[in-house]
Amino acid sequence: MARSSVLSLLNASAAPTAPVLIQGWVRTRRDSKAFSFLEINDGSCLRSLQVVADASLTNYAEVAHLRTGSSLEVEGDLVPSQGGGQAWELVARRITLHGATPEDYPLQKKGHTPEFLRSIAHLRPRTNLFGAVFRVRSRMAYAIHRFFQERGFVYVHTPIVTASDCEGAGEMFRVTTLSPEEMKQGVPDFFGKPTYLTVSGQLEGETFACALSNIYTFGPTFRAENSHTSRHASEFWMIEPEMAFCNLEGDMALAEEMIQYLVSTAMEECAEDLAFFNKFVDKELLTRLAFVRDRPFARLPYTEAVEILLASGRSFEYPVAWGQNLQAEHERYLTEEHCRCPVTVFDYPKDIKPFYMRANEDGRTVAAMDLLAPGIGEIVGGSQREERLDVLRGNLARQGLSGEAYSWYLDLRRYGTVPHAGFGLGFERLLMFVTGVSNIRDVIPFPRVPGSAEF
C-alpha cells in the first residue's frame, strides 16, 4: 500500500474510497475511555493528523502508552472529523510501532527556546518552528533556480576549493594536507600551492558570463571572519548571478526583481508556514512582506545616504563619515526609519571596496551596490565589474595583489572584454527576511560559527 502524506490527507477534497497508510512521529497522545487520540506529524506540513485508535486494536495496550516522538505507521480510514479544528481524522485499522521513545525524549510538549533547540540540532527539525523553517528553505532554493532558469540563466558550479581570495579580505579557511611541521619545512602542499575554501564563486562565475552571457551560481561559501553577530555564519550559501553586457542599473534591477519574486513565492507557496511565523515569531512579518512584494524599492547613492545619516540627529555607536563602511545600525536606520522599505545604496567609496569593482568617472567611487532589507540590513552585495584591462591592473597593484595569480581573470579583459555586472544574495539572510527568524543559526540545518561546529 502506498504511503500518503499528512498534507495530502488533510487537504483531501473527498474521503478516499479505500484505506490509506501514513507514517510519522507522535506529537501528542490523549486518552479517553475507549479511545486514544494520536497527533501524527510527518513533516509534510505544519499540521498533524489526528488518528483515532480504539480499544479493539490488537495492540491497543501498546498504543495507549505511546510517547511523544515515537515513530509508527497507521493504516486506516479517513473520515470527516468529529471534533473541531480539522476537517479529517484517520480511524485506525492497524498501527505498527517502528520505534518507541523513552521518557527522556527532549522535545516535550512545552515550548523550548531556540537556544536550547540549537543544542539538539539533530532533533529540532521535529518541532513546528524548525520544520517550517526548513520547508521554506527548500522551497526558496527551488524558487531561486526557477527564477533564473525561466530567464535563461545558466547554472554554473564553481569550485569550493580555490587558490584565489575573491573579496581580498583574507578571511579564508586554509585547505591543506600538511602537518604544521611539514608546513614549516616548506613541504609542497597537495595542490602545489596554498588553497582555501571559497569565499565567493564570483571570479569563476565571471569567466562563464563572458561566454554564456547570463549565469548564476548557488553553493556554499566560507568566511573565517571572527564575527559573533546574529547575521554572520562561517559557512553559508550564496546565489551569485553574473550578466555580460550589463551595467549597475541592470544589476540593481535584477536584484530587486529577484527579492520581490522570492517574497511573493514564499507568500503563495508557504502560506501556512508563514502564518505560523507571523503568529509566533514576528507579528509584523506578513504586513512587511506584502509591502515589499507590492511597492517599489528605494535607491540612494552612498554619498546621499551618508548625508541622511549625518542629518538624522542620531547618535550611532559607530560614527558616520564619508569613506567609512556603513555599519549594520546605519543600514537599519536607512531602511527601517528613513526609507521604510528596502533600499539599494550604490556608488560606494572605492577605498573600502574590492579590486574588481568598476571605477566611476568621479575618481573616488565605484559602481557597487548593497541592497538593504528592513530588520536585516545588507542582504545583497554586488557591483559592475572593472572591464578595462589597464584600470584593473592598477587596482590589483594598489591593493597589493599579484597580477600573476589573477592572470586568468585579466585574460577576460584581454580577449573580448565586455561590461558586466553581478551580485551575491546571502541565502540565509533571505531566509531570515521571509521567516522573521532573527538569528542566522536558526535558518541553517547545522550552523557553523566561530567556536562551534557541532553535529
Distance CA 104, CA 243 (A): 54
Of the candidate residues 139, 350, 429, 441, the single one contacting ligand 4AD (CB under 6 A): 429
Q: For residues 47 and 90, is the Cβ–Cβ distance under 8 A? A: no
Distance CA 132, CA 126 (A): 10
Residue 374 interaction partner, one of Mg ion, ligand 4AD, none, beta carbon < 5-8 Å per kind: none
Of the candidate residues 223, 353, 358, 420, the single one contacting ligand 4AD (CB under 6 A): 223
Nearest distance in Å: CB 424, Mg ion: 7
Q: Is residue 206 a contact point for ligand 4AD (CB under 6 A)? A: no
Nearest distance in Å: CB 379, ligand 4AD: 5
Distance CA 265, CA 150 (A): 14
Nearest distance in Å: CB 426, Mg ion: 9
Residue 426 interaction partner, one of ligand 4AD, Mg ion, none, beta carbon < 5-8 Å per kind: ligand 4AD
- If you write DSSP's letter for every residue of 134-187 in order, what string do you get? HHHHHHHHHHHHHHHHHTTPEE----SEES--TTSS----EE----HHHHHHTP
Of the candidate residues 136, 197, 210, 238, the single one contacting ligand 4AD (CB under 6 A): 238
Show contacts with Mg ion in window 372-391 (CB under 5 A).
381
CA 343 to chain centre: 20
Nearest distance in Å: CB 198, ligand 4AD: 10
If the CB atoms of residues 10 and 434 are measured against ligand 4AD, the closer one turns out to be 434
Of the candidate residues 6, 46, 380, 443, the single one contacting ligand 4AD (CB under 6 A): 380
Q: Do the strands 298-301 and 235-244 form a parallel or antiparallel pair, or are they unpaired?
A: unpaired
Q: For residues 371 and 344, is the Cβ–Cβ distance under 8 A? A: yes
Residue least distant from Mg ion (Cβ) = 381
CB burial of residue 271 (10 Å; 0-12, 13-18, 19+): exposed
Nearest distance in Å: CB 150, ligand 4AD: 21
Show contacts with ligand 4AD in window 286-325 (CB under 6 A).
none
Number of residues that bind ligand 4AD (CB under 6 A): 23
Q: Is residue 236 a contact point for ligand 4AD (CB under 6 A)? A: yes
Q: For residues 140 and 262, is the Cβ–Cβ distance under 8 A? A: yes
If the CB atoms of residues 131 and 354 are measured against ligand 4AD, the closer one turns out to be 354
Q: How many residues does the chain have?
A: 455
Nearest distance in Å: CB 163, Mg ion: 22
Q: For residues 26 and 48, is the Cβ–Cβ distance under 8 A? A: no
Phi, psi of 449 (to 5 degrees): -135, 165
Q: Residue written as cell 524558487?
A: 143
Binding mask 405-424 for ligand 4AD (x = CB under 6 A): -----------------xxx
Distance (Å) of CA 227 to CA 166, 171, 451: 19, 11, 11
Nearest distance in Å: CB 254, ligand 4AD: 12
Q: Which residues bind Mg ion (CB under 5 A)?
A: 381
Q: Which residues bind ligand 4AD (CB under 6 A)?
A: 166-167, 200, 202, 223, 232-233, 236, 238, 240, 378-383, 422-424, 426, 428-429, 440
